[in-house]
Each structure stands twice: as C-alpha cells, then as structure tokens.
A and B are shown apart, each in its own frame.
Chain A
Amino acid sequence: MKRILVLFLAAVMLFGAAACSPSGQPANGGKTVIKVFSNLPDRTTGQGLVEQKIFDQYIAENPNVEIQVEALDDEAYKIKMKAYASGTSLPDLISVWGQPSFLDGYIDAGLIAELNPGDYSEYGFVEGSLAGFSKDGKLYGLPRNTDMIAFYYNQKLFSDNNWSIPTTYDELLALAPKIAATGISPVAMDGNDKWPISIFITDLLVKIGGTAYQPETLKAISGGDFSHPMYAEAARLLQDAYDANLFQPGFEQQDYGTAQNLFINGQAAMFYMGSWEMSMANNQEIDPEIRENIRAFTMPVVSGGVGVATDIAAWNGGGHSVIAKSPVKDEAVKLLNYIYKPENWTKIAWENNVCMSAQDFSQYKTGSETPVQLQLIDIFAGATSISGTTINDLGSADFKTKFEDLSQQISIKSITPEGAINALAD
C-alpha cells in the first residue's frame, strides 16, 4: 500500500513539475491580448462556431492581436460574471443579455463601456433591436440575433390527418384532443426551464393587448400592479391549454432536450420554441421524413384580443459588451465592431443556418434556405408589431425568477390567475 502511495505521489509531482514548466505560459511578445468571456462553450457548432470563426479571421488579419476565449454555459457564466465584477481583473469583451434582468446591474455598477451609436449607422441593425442594450439613451452593447417564438409543426402529419393550421387560439385548443386521439402529444413544451412558459404568456399578452403589451408591462412591473385585465386573461388562457391537454403530460418537469426530442421523433405534433431551432431542418441526425416536413406558425389570435396575427413576440436577447475599465478598451471595441460588421456575424450565422441576426440579412440569402427558414423570415418581415423583450426579462433578476416560477405554477393550475397576480404585487 505504502509503495503504491509513494509511487503515485511521485508521478503526480512529476506531472506537476511538467505543468509548471514555461511551456504553459503563452508567449505574447508585444502582442495585444484581448480576453473574451463568452457564454458559448461549444466552439464547434452553432453560435459558438460563428463567434470562433470571426475571432480566427480577426487574428489572421491582425497578427499583433491575441484573443483568449474563456467560455462557460449560461448559469456558470452568470455566477462567474458576478465574481469577476467583485474582483480587479476583468475580461475585456463579454457576452451579455440585452435585458434589464441581466444588464442593468452591470451598467449601474459602471462596468460596461458606453458605445458610440454613430459607429453603427451603416450596420443595418433592425429597428428597436438596440433598445434592450441601451439605458437612459446611452448604448452599452450590440445584439447578436433576433429571436422569435413559434410553433414548429410536422406538415405531413397535419395533412395526413386533415388537421388545419389554427387561426384562433380556440382552434388550437380544439385541435389538441384530435391530435391526442392519434396517440401522440399535441405540443411539446419545455416546462422545466420555465422561461418557455413565460414566453408563451408573453405571446398571449401580445395577442390580447397588441402593442399595449410592452408599455403596460413596464408600468405594471415598476408599480407592482398587475391588475390590468390582460394579465389575468393570459393566465386563464394558459390554464385553458392545461385543461385541453395541449402540452405533453408531465411537461412542467421535462427539459429542453426531452421536449425537442418528442417532436423530432414524431411523438409530438408541434414544438413551441424560438426561431434559433430552425436549424432542425438542416440537422442530418433527424429522420428526413420529419426533418423535411418541419414548418412553423406563430401564436394564433385570441377572441376579444386587440393583437392581430401579424403582431408577434420577438426580441433581441444575446449580444456583446465591452468592459469600461479594460486596459485594451479601444482594441476590444474594435473587435466588437468587427464582429458585427454585416459581412461577418450576419453573413456567417445565416450561411451556417445558425440564426437570424439582429441586422438586415436579406442580401445574404443563399437560395438554399429550408422552407421553415423562409417561413420564419416572411413572418418576421410581415410583422406589424414586435413585442420586444419578453415579460420575464423586463424587470429585475428577482422579478424574473418570481415570474418564471409563477408561469410554471399557472400552467399546471397549482395557482389561480388571481393568486398569481397577488403574488406579483408583493
């Protein structure tokens, strides 16, 4: 035993000595090092790949620059960001969410560098997309993409069964038992993460209140008063969905992957998720029978609602900001501006079918887009109004967790609409 231990320790010491040798230290002879902290840990697919491609391109064009990327997933990212904020050595360029629930705290602490809006007049940012990244008229970050929520559905399944695309919320609920009768779930919903249910509520609010959604909700949050009838109405409509068994059984504890796989394995007819999932139509691992039949529609109108079919729930979530006290602030801003040059993020993201950027991407259409991709662009282009930030992200972080908890509880009828409104007033 002793011998094993000694051997083991010796081996470890050797390892340790090897690790302490200078080879671990990056040689940056006179190079400018930009430290990037990203919430995209997977650098080989999706948005992480796009980000990495742009960085590689930048280094090739600017040999005197070195980019060090540290990446964690959302939750660990948010914790580490707080730790960074409490210390002295921060990264230079960071991922942010253009929502008060995330960005406000950092802006108030003076950590985020102000950007010059004039720099971006030629960048083609979609109208309103910078709103979430601004505070008191100043710009603090740039949005990566435009997100939109939709019901993805299996077109073939619908036509084979003579189901038609619902044009009203009542039709959607009436469709549920018909779909259930064939032995599959109507809509696959990620209830465990809670935010998709909050987005569903936002979607309903847009159809009930139309463009009143955002101004009313901002007022309601700041005053802690959700007595405007549209909130109770949205909660009731969500509970109607529960009564109609619109979502798969046990949805409140099923996560993203489980919900998605119900849909892509044909066990659910629809999947309620954001536009970033349009890449399903290109995913070679999905059965072509399903993959080629994926289409999308948005939340149908509700009876008595002000919102029309083309008033949609869409927002700009993720993006980048520069740290105010960064020793290489100018270089970091230069990198930021480079990322968002339309021929970089927008083009590369679109060509890789990753997402719709927050900029005008019409010139980068390749002609080989999938039907669902085209459908989503058309819906977005034809929108008469866009909701902006979803309700859960419009307030503080505390409001976010509270609202998302309540969304989940409303969706399984463990709280009444009135109870939820009272809980929000606290």
Chain B
Amino acid sequence: MEKMLRDKRVIAILIAPSLIAFVFAVLAPILLSFVYSFTNSSGIGRFTFVGFENYSALAKDKAFWNALLNSALLAAGFILIQHPIAIFAAWLLDRIGGRAETFFKSAYFVPNIISSAVIATLWKYVYNTNFGLFNVIARFFGGEGVNWLGTGRAIWSVLIVLVWHGFGWGMLIYYTGVKNIDPVLYEAAAIDGCDDKKMFFAITLPLMRPVIQVNVTLALISALKQMETVYLLTKGGPGNETQFVATYLYKQAFQSGNYGYGNTISVVFVIICLLTTLFLNRLFRREG
C-alpha cells in the first residue's frame, strides 16, 4: 500500500492537469501583472518602467488603505456574524430533516443564484431615501428618513448587504460538512445521554474543524475580492468611502487609465491574500 501511495507516475498524472491549468490561467497573467506593476502603462500603447514608484505611491494612497480597512471589516463581518449563524443553520437543517430541510436549504440559497445586478438593484430600492422600505418603516413609527447610502453611513449599509448576500455560500459548505459527520457518533452520544447542545459542541464543531478552516479562508479571500455587488450599489462612493480592494483595483486600472498602478494593487492584493492564508494556517494548526 505504501508503495502505491508513493507512485511518482500516478502522482504526476493526477496533479499535472491542475498545474497546467494553473500555469496558463493564473501564473502567466500574474507574472505579467508583476511586470506591469513597475510601469506607467495606461493599458494602451507604449509605457516606460518607473521602478518602485507605483509601490511607494500605493503606500501613501489613503483610498487604498481605506479599501483594505473596508475589506477587513467585511472579513470580520463574515467570520463573526455570518459564519456562526451559517454553522448553526446548517446543523439545525440537518436535525430537522424531511421536506422542511429541503425547502429551507433551497430557500436560503436563492440570493446566491440570482445575478448580483438584481441583488444590488433590490437593495438600492430598500435603502432609497424617498420610498425605500427602511425609511417607510422608520416614518411609520414616527421616525425620520435616513440617507442610508450617504456619507459616513454608506459603508455600514454596504456591509450589511454583503454579509447577508454571502450567507448562502457559507451555509452550503457547512451544510455539506455537517452531512459528512458520521451519524453513528450522534447515536453513540445520545446513548451516553448527551443533549443537543452538548452534541453540537462536543461532536459537530470539533469534527467540522477542517471545513471551518476552509470556509474561513474562503471568506477572507472573498472579502478582498468583493466586486460586483458593491460596484453596482455605490460605485465605491461617496468619494471612495465604500471602495473595497478589488473595486479600487478596477477603478484604477480601467477607469482612471492607471493600468500599471492597478497591477501594483493586484500584486499587493495577492501578497496580502497569501499572508492571511498563511496566518490562518498557523492559527488553526496551533489551535489543533
């Protein structure tokens, strides 16, 4: 058996296609990005190399740091708010079983199937100062209408939407994790007189460790990569208040014509992602 698990030829066959796909679609563009990050390219025509100019400009770019902060806030929202609810919901659905399980499981995922354009439009309606749902409710209770996407408040309103919208993905992954837990363990625990609460903390959570690690990593990366919904909702405004790293990259590379600078952002972006993933790996290893 040992010999079989060490068979170099088999390993090569198994892993080579993935590595080739990686080289073509990921490594090549990121290397080009790396080269461009040292240029003043506008994306069209000639450019010159400018050394570390873009990198030092980025270090001083307040809008970029603010975008990074926004991404960090979003990551915190995902991990501290969305994921606990998602784990609990996944566990609960598994416990309920039957048709209710099927129905809720499908219903909870619906926002992730519909295109972001619809989701953004819907939330624009809900947040609308004149006729939006939130202000209609506020006025009904004698309150005053609030400019939900106005300066200072916009980032929180956007965070709510994103944390809500990512819920389906988070739950699906946890749900699969819960399903992978051997039912025999629950049966044994029940015989030992464990109640639901104990089972959740003593069996479900510990066994879900690898899944939680994956899901948290995915959430962190997606917090940095957040693009479409935010862009459609606020275009990163007012000013650059609701800019996230990916939307800011898009703006610089394609709207401001600073293609070289945009690539600098993408290189730094990859480095940040790598560091966070490494940090998480450490964290989970130490915990375990």
A contacts B directly (C-beta below 8 A): yes
A positions within 8 Å CB-CB of B: 78-79, 82, 85-86, 101, 105-106, 108-111, 185, 192-194, 248-250, 252-255, 258, 262, 267, 396-398, 400-402, 405, 408-409, 412, 414-415
Instruction: Report the Cα distance A405→B149, complex, angstroms.
Output: 15
- B151 with A414: CB separation less than 8 A: yes
Instruction: Report the Cα distance A412→B128, complex, angstroms.
Output: 16
A-B contact pairs, 24 of them (CB 8 A): A79-B254, A85-B44, A105-B44, A108-B46, A109-B45, A111-B44, A192-B234, A192-B237, A193-B235, A248-B130, A249-B145, A250-B130, A250-B149, A252-B150, A252-B238, A253-B127, A254-B124, A254-B129, A267-B130, A401-B251, A408-B238, A408-B239, A409-B151, A409-B238
With CB as the reference atom, state the residue of chain B lying closest to A398.
Answer: B256
With CB as the reference atom, state the residue of chain B lying closest to A101.
Answer: B257
Q: Is B176 on the interface with A (CB-CB < 8 A)?
A: no
Instruction: Report the Cα distance A253→B239, complex, angstroms.
Output: 11
- A108 with B238: CB separation less than 8 A: no
Q: Is B106 on the interface with A (CB-CB < 8 A)?
A: no
Min C-beta distance of B44 to chain A, whole Å: 4
Q: Please report the total number of B residues contacting A with Cβ < 8 Å.
A: 30
Min C-beta distance of A321 to chain B, whole Å: 14
List 19 additional A-B contacts (Cβ < 8 Å) besides A250-B148, A267-B130. A78-B255, A85-B45, A106-B44, A108-B45, A109-B45, A194-B235, A249-B129, A250-B130, A250-B147, A253-B150, A254-B124, A258-B124, A258-B128, A397-B255, A401-B255, A405-B240, A408-B237, A414-B238, A414-B239
Interfacial residues of chain B within 250-287, with CB under 8 A of chain A in the complex: 251, 254-259
Contacts of B46 in A (CB 8 A): 108-109
Q: Is B58 on the interface with A (CB-CB < 8 A)?
A: no
Contacts of B210 in A (CB 8 A): none
A194-B129 contact given A85-B45, A402-B256, CB 8 Å threshold: no
- A110 with B45: CB separation less than 8 A: yes
Min C-beta distance of B97 to chain A, whole Å: 20
Which of A82, A401, A415 touches B44 (beta carbons < 8 Å)?
Answer: A82
- B43 with A85: CB separation less than 8 A: yes
Instruction: Report the Cα distance A97→B129, complex, angstroms.
Output: 34
Instruction: Report the Cα distance A415→B240, complex, angstroms.
Output: 12
- B235 with A254: CB separation less than 8 A: no
Min C-beta distance of B15 to chain A, whole Å: 24
Instruction: Report the Cα distance A250→B150, complex, angstroms.
Output: 6
- B257 with A253: CB separation less than 8 A: no
Min C-beta distance of B132 to chain A, whole Å: 9
- A397 with B124: CB separation less than 8 A: no
Contacts of A111 in B (CB 8 A): 44-45
Q: Is B154 on the interface with A (CB-CB < 8 A)?
A: yes
Q: How many pairs, one residue from A and one from B, have CB atoms within 8 Å of each other in the complex? A: 101
Instruction: Report the Cα distance A86→B254, complex, angstroms.
Output: 14
- B150 with A412: CB separation less than 8 A: yes
A249-B147 contact given A108-B45, A111-B44, A258-B124, CB 8 Å threshold: yes
Min C-beta distance of B20 to chain A, whole Å: 22
Contacts of A109 in B (CB 8 A): 44-46
Q: Which 4 A-B pairs have the closest CB atoms?
A: A109-B45, A250-B129, A397-B257, A253-B149
Chain B contact residues: helix, strand, loop or mixed: loop
Instruction: Report the Cα distance A106→B45, complex, angstroms.
Output: 7
Which of A82, A267, A402, A414 touches B43 (beta carbons < 8 Å)?
Answer: A82
A249-B130 contact given A401-B256, A402-B256, A405-B239, CB 8 Å threshold: yes
Min C-beta distance of A55 to chain B, whole Å: 27
A405-B147 contact given A105-B44, A109-B46, A396-B257, CB 8 Å threshold: no
A194-B237 contact given A105-B44, A108-B45, A255-B124, CB 8 Å threshold: yes
Instruction: Report the Cα distance A280→B254, complex, angstroms.
Output: 32
Contacts of A267 in B (CB 8 A): 130
- Identify which of B128, B149, B237, B254 gathers the most chain A CB atoms within 10 Å of its CB: B237
A412-B235 contact given A79-B254, A111-B44, A255-B124, CB 8 Å threshold: no
Mark B122-139 against chain A: 1 for CB-CB distance below 8 A, else 0: 001001111000000000
With CB as the reference atom, state the residue of chain B lying closest to A409.
Answer: B239
With CB as the reference atom, state the residue of chain B lying closest to A79.
Answer: B254
Interfacial residues of chain B within 22-69, with CB under 8 A of chain A in the complex: 42-46
Instruction: Report the Cα distance A254→B148, complex, angstroms.
Output: 11
- B43 with A253: CB separation less than 8 A: no
Mark B145-171 against chain A: 1 for CB-CB distance below 8 A, else 0: 101111100100000000000000000
Contacts of B234 in A (CB 8 A): 192, 253
A398-B258 contact given A85-B44, A253-B150, A262-B130, CB 8 Å threshold: yes
Min C-beta distance of A243 to chain B, whole Å: 16
Instruction: Report the Cα distance A193→B235, complex, angstroms.
Output: 8
Contacts of B255 in A (CB 8 A): 78, 397, 400-401
Instruction: Report the Cα distance A109→B149, complex, angstroms.
Output: 40
Contacts of A258 in B (CB 8 A): 124, 128
Instruction: Report the Cα distance A408→B254, complex, angstroms.
Output: 20
Instruction: Report the Cα distance A253→B149, complex, angstroms.
Output: 6
- B257 with A405: CB separation less than 8 A: no
Instruction: Report the Cα distance A82→B258, complex, angstroms.
Output: 12
Min C-beta distance of B33 to chain A, whole Å: 13
